[in-house]
Amino acid sequence: MAKRTLADLELKDRRVLVRVDFNVPLREGRVTNDARLRAALPTIEKILEGGGRPVLMSHLGRPGGRRVEELSLAPVAARLGQLLGRRVHMAPDCLGDEPERMSRELAPGELLLLENLRFHPEEEQGEESFARGLAACGDLFVGDAFGTAHRAHASVAVVPRLLPAAAGLLLEREIEAFARILERPEHPFVAILGGAKVSDKLPLIRNLLSRVDRLLVGGAMAYTFLDARGMEVGASLVEEELLGEAQEVLAEAERQGRELLLPEDHVVAPSLDDEAGAEICDGPIPADRMGLDIGPKTVERYQEALAGAKTILWNGPMGVFERDAFAGGTLQVGKAVAEGGAFSVVGGGDSVAAVEKLGLADRISHISTGGGASLELLEGKELPGIAALPER
User: What single-letter DSSP state applies at residue 283?
Assistant: S
Q: What is the pLDDT of residues 366-389, one digit of tens each?
A: 999 888 899 899 999 999 999 999
Give CA–CA dist 11/34, Å, rounded. 26
* E-assigned strand segments in the chain: 15-19, 26-27, 30-31, 53-57, 88-90, 111-113, 140-143, 165-167, 189-193, 214-217, 259-261, 266-269, 279-281, 290-294, 311-315, 343-346, 366-367
Q: Is 370 a catalytic residue?
A: no
Instruction: Inform me whether the pLDDT recorded for 177 exceeds 90.
Output: yes
pLDDT at 73: 98
Kindly name the residue from 197, 258, 335, 363 that is annotated as catalytic.
197
Kindly name the residue from 61, 65, 96, 372 that is annotated as catalytic.
372
pLDDT at 1: 56
Instruction: Inform me whether the pLDDT recorded for 46 exceeds 70.
Output: yes
Q: 6-171 and 185-378 share one CATH topology?
A: yes
Tell me the pTM. 0.90
**Which amino acid, 386?**
I
Q: What are phi and psi of 288, to 5 degrees?
A: -100, 15
Could you tell me what percent of the chain has a pLDDT over 90? 88
CATH value of 6-171 in 3.40.50.150, 1.10.760.10, 3.40.50.1260, 1.10.3720.10: 3.40.50.1260
> Which CATH homologous superfamily contains domain 185-378?
Phosphoglycerate kinase, N-terminal domain (3.40.50.1260)
Give CA–CA dist 219/320, Å, rounded. 7
Lowest mean pLDDT among 154-163, 169-178, 241-250, 339-348: 339-348
Q: Is 372 a catalytic residue?
A: yes
pLDDT at 360: 85
Give CA–CA dist 164/112, Å, rounded. 19
Kindly name the residue from 310, 349, 357, 363 that is annotated as catalytic.
349
- Under 8 Å between Cβ of 126 and 353: no
Q: What is the pLDDT of residues 268-294, one digit of tens each?
A: 999 999 999 999 999 899 999 999 999
Kindly name the residue from 36, 53, 79, 211 that is annotated as catalytic.
36
Instruction: Inform me whether the pLDDT recorded for 55 exceeds 80.
Output: yes
Average the pLDDT over 251-275 and give the result.
Answer: 95
For residue 63, name the pLDDT band (cuts at 50, 70, 90).
Answer: very high
Chain-wide mean pLDDT for the chain? Answer: 94
Q: How far is CA 300 from CA 133, 278, 294, in A?
A: 57, 19, 10
- H helices within 70-168, ranges in order? 74-84, 97-104, 121-125, 128-135
- Under 8 Å between Cβ of 298 and 265: yes
Q: What is the pLDDT of residues 296-330, one digit of tens each?
A: 999 999 999 999 999 999 999 999 998 999 999 99
pLDDT at 349: 66
Q: Is 349 a catalytic residue?
A: yes
For residue 351, name the pLDDT band (cuts at 50, 70, 90).
Answer: confident
- What are the structural domain ranges in the chain? 6-171, 185-378
